Structure 1
Amino acid sequence: MCDTPAPDAPPLQQSAEFAAALALCGQRAARLDDGTLVLTRRIGGLPIALLSRARLAPPTLPGLLARAGLRRSLILMNPDTPCPGLDRLGAVPLITPAHVAELDLTGDLMAGLQQKWRNRLRHARGQGLRVTQGPLPLDPAHWLLIAEAAQQRARGYRNWPIALTLAHARANPGAAQLFTAHQSGTPVAGLLILRHGTAASYHIGHSTPAGRAASAQTLLMWQAMTWLAAQGATRLDLGPVETEQTPGLTRFKLGTGARARPLGGTWAWWPPMGKTLRPLAWLDRRRMQQSWTDAPAPDY
């Protein structure tokens, strides 16, 4: 079994809400007998099956894939928790584990804030910001979606396509909640949260220079946290944390009181080869295990 116990609500990438959004986009997906969502496609004639943020029990995986008709597909896996047992199947690690920040919404949220984060919240409350909240408008030209696309190009990272974000909102009415901070009637920051079951995920956050000066994103995150808790949500997934590439964003996420935990890395396995490549997995085993223990420190 995987090493780290997983929370009850599934990650966004394994949720019914995500499956509904994919279906609306015409994306092919399947479910294994244990409920794991699998995205399938062909690249150069080779069938590919992607298990993203899946909660895997390696001993059962061969049978699950066989019953789903995927025994001849190249399996790409990004487990939700460390799964060292994958190497015994012959899976080969490709990318060492990332860490995600998760916030428990069931406790005293104010008590969990780091002092600097609390100070920024106090600062934001004194800036005359007006916060609005509601479902994401189904408009591909919405200012937050356009700003996010431009930010992706400028910073060289990738998030969901606009079409998939809109599909999530359309397929799951009310699940895509937009929090907006206005200053003198002008939007200066936006925060998009996606609900899935009893959990939620931080999806898009953007601030203008005026919004950053007013600590608007801190106020929006606080509004989102308290609203989700009041709605009965138990966990907020704040996404990846990376102390070297995005130290400021990592401090912002961990400053909420969130805790960083490791995912399981990225693995590839082609069932027809069985355990042939198992020696390659053993060569990388120590590096994978080290990554599972190197969580970013909450130094906000």
Structure 2
Amino acid sequence: MKLDWIETESLRLPQGLSALPMQQHEIYGQACEATGCRVRRFALSAGPSGPVRASAQVLVRRWPLLGQAALLSRGPVWEAEVPLEERRAALNALLERLRQEHRAVAVTPEIDACGDPLAESGWLEAVTPCTLASLRVDASEDELRARMSGKWRNRLKRAEQAELEGLEIRDAPMPPKQDHWLLRKEVIQSRARGYRSVPPEFTRAWVAAGGPGSARLFTAWKGGLPAAAMLFLVHSPGASYHVGWTGPAGRETAAHNLLLWRAMLWLRDRGVKQLDLDVLDTAAAPGLVRFKLGSGARALSLGATRLMAPGSRFFAAPAA
């Protein structure tokens, strides 16, 4: 049976997925389209009506001086039974097609059983491999607590005690507006700390595309004022931490530990199996790394981001 990549109008995912990266979910594509990006969707199948063995969502943007560039991030998504050799062959076939149809192609693949599938490809390594924190939440409360480090559990207990003493925890759907107080604080926080934040219009577009169940906001309040907040995007069977903030009262009460704990239970009860807690950066944010791994998350490595374009070495630095 000959399998080919078929371009589709909507994303057709393989059956039985236990995890799905945000970048390969339909809501992500719709949000990117709403913010001005072109999105292409592909299914690996024996025909338009055949079962899907893999899917891939590709963003297309115009790069200055170069033209149309395609970005494949954390894809394709595979049916579990597809053998490793077929996966690598199909990935190369999709990348070759994208190369023929775009001036440049950038790809960040998932690591497979034998490592980075493009390690020997000859593509230019534009961005070195990164590591994410991935937290399984499909377990009992006792199991989830047992996976935490002792210090993390103690801080969670401290926050639970603070709740008994007046710390108020709330959760609700994220409103679809760009001027939400958390997004404003995130912009200020990112400028102060010197990191690049996700534009508020993407969050609004995500909520507009996915509806109320696609983004859940957990907040801690002390004396009627916000003390801390964490926003999660739901892309079942996965979810991702998106934006967070804490003030002095939140740090004093370890509110983020309690907010993440409540989010873990809320997501688990709605069928989410895996929660991505974003990149682990030991150089720039060692305390955040300890927080993520202390929650019971494991380190998940991605392949390098690789680039193929005319004059690739010249464009590698701006792409990074």
TM over 0.5: yes
Q: Map of 1:216-231 to 2, 5 A cutoff?
A: 216-231=255-270
User: In the TM superposition, what are the counterparts of 1:111-122 in structure 2 within 5 Å?
Assistant: 111-122=146-157
Indicate the residue corresponding to 2:221 in structure 1.
182
- In the comparison of the two structures, how many residue pairs are matched? 268
| Aligned match of 1:59 | 89
In structure 2, what is the equivalent of residue 212 of structure 1?
251
* Partner residue of 2:285 out of 198, 221, 246: 246
From 19, 34, 58, the counterpart of 1:9 = 19
Alignment of 1:87-98 (within 5 A): 87-98=119-130
Question: In the TM superposition, what whole-angstrom CA distance separates every residue of 1:9-59 from its partner, at most 9, and x where no partner exists?
Answer: 220011111012122223211123342111112222422111112248442
Q: Equivalents in 1 of 2:218, 2:244: separation in Å?
A: 9
Contact 1:94/1:268, CA 8 A, preserved across alignment: yes
Q: Which residue of 1 aligns with 2:83?
A: none
What residue number does 1:289 align with?
none
Match of 2:52 in 1: none
Provide the residue aligned with 1:158 in structure 2: 196
The equivalences for 1:16-55 within 5 A come to 16-34=26-44, 35-43=55-63, 44-55=65-76
Conserved? CA contact 1:191–1:220, under 8 Å: yes
Q: Indicate if the aligned counterparts of 2:110 and 2:116 stay in contact, CA closer than 8 A.
A: no
Task: Select between 258-267 and 42-51 the one with higher mean Cα deviation.
Answer: 42-51
Counterparts of 1:13 and 1:85, CA distance in 2: 18
Cα offsets for 1:125-162 (capped at 9, x unmatched):
12221111111112322111001011111111113210
Cα RMSD for the two superposed structures: 2.2
Letter in 2 for 1:102: S
Out of 280, 291, 301, the position equivalent to 1:262 is 301
* Match of residue 106, structure 1, among 138, 144, 151: 138
Give the Å deviation of 1:243: 1.8
- Tell me how far apart the structure 2 counterparts of residues 58 and 184 of structure 1 sit (CA, whole Å): 56
Length-normalised TM-score, structure 1: 0.83
What is the alpha-carbon distance in structure 2 between the residues aligned to residue 176 and residue 72 of structure 1? 33
User: Is residue 86 of structure 1 aligned with residue 118 of structure 2?
Assistant: yes
Separation in 1 of the partners of 2:284 and 2:36?
34
CA distance in 1, matches of 2:296, 2:131: 15
Residues 66-81 of structure 1 correspond to what in structure 2 (within 5 A)?
A: 67=97, 70-81=100-111
Distance 1:68 1:76 in 2: 10
Equivalent residue letter for 1:41: R
CA contact (8 A) 2:137 2:274 kept: yes
Higher RCO (CA-CA < 8 Å; seq separation 6+): 1
CA contact (8 A) 1:58 1:89 kept: no
CA contact (8 A) 1:101 1:238 kept: yes
Distance 1:255 1:168, change over 3 A: same
Q: Which amino acid aligns with 2:29?
A: A
Give the superposition deviation at 1:191: 0.5
CA 1:196–1:85: 2 relative to 1, 3 Å: closer
SS of 2:37's partner is coil
User: What is the TM-score when the length of structure 2 is the normalising length?
Assistant: 0.78
CA distance in 2: counterparts of 1:67 and 1:55, whole angstroms: 14
Query: 1:258 deviation in Å?
Result: 0.5
How far apart, in 2, do the equivalents of 1:243 and 1:237 lie?
Answer: 17
Are the equivalent residues in 1 in contact too, given 2:24–2:56 (CA < 8 A)? yes
Cα deviation, residue 194, structure 1: 0.3
1:295 match? none
Residue identity opposite 2:118 in structure 1: L
